[in-house]
Amino acid sequence: MKQYLVIGLGRFGESVSKTLYDAGANVLGIDVNEELIQDKIDNNILKNAVIGDASDEKILKDIGAENFDIAFVCTADIEASVMITLNLKEFGIRTIIAKAVNKKHGKVLTKVGATEIVYPEEHMGKRIAELTMNKDIIEHLKFNDNFVLVEIKAPHIFWNNSLIKLDVRNKYNINVVGIKKRGGTFLPNPTANIIIEEGDILVVITDKKTVKSFSSLI
């Protein structure tokens, strides 16, 4: 199982940590604020966290940073985020996803070792606009210019039918990778025999064109 490191537990870092933790991933959080860390643990956002400044190489060495597969740099401090990214690169972490406040900041992070740059405010603006235009799409994550991971309400024609009977991959060009049931239960990698019910949310991978045509079924 992959090991995740989340540095900076503000709003963005909290969101990343909670998503990973809820999915059952092995994740360790780091922040200089002891109260912030305790809050995340008390609210089941994280199970494991360390108090410290990740711009200090000793902190990263003490936690065995070289053993982590993916690191998220979520701190809002520009100078600190650059130093942290550089340190993570030197420890050999292959995937470093860093938060940037602007394009210039993003360029610097890329030069010192970040493999992916995230602009939270820009992403949020686009997401709100897209969700406003299509109320049936709950959430989505773009993989590239064409393929997306989408949470979408199960069409009524899917209700009381199994995935294998619906033959969703061939008939609708979608891959269902998860189902959120009405009671809040999440079923990852659902089997072909699972029955789709009214109120289910399907987590699917498909292309943008299919999303538009598929949402018309709802």
Chain Cα centroid distance, residue 79: 24
Residue 203 pLDDT class (50, 70, 90 cuts): confident
User: What is the mean pLDDT of the segment spanning 154-168?
Assistant: 93
Alpha helices in 4-102 (DSSP H): 11-22, 34-42, 57-62, 78-90
User: What is the mean pLDDT of the segment spanning 63-92?
Assistant: 95
Q: Where are the domains of the chain?
A: 3-121, 133-216
State the helix-helix crossing angle for 103-112 and 78-90, rounded to 10 degrees: 20
**Residue 139: what pLDDT?**
47
Q: Which residues contact 73 (CB under 8 A, 6 or more apart)?
A: 7, 8, 81, 84, 85, 88, 96, 97, 98, 99, 109, 114
* 127: pLDDT strictly greater than 60: no
**Residue 52: what pLDDT?**
95
**What is the residue whose two structure tokens read 């659902």?**
190
CATH code of the region 133-216? 3.30.70.1450
Domain spanning 3-121, CATH architecture = 3-Layer(aba) Sandwich (3.40)
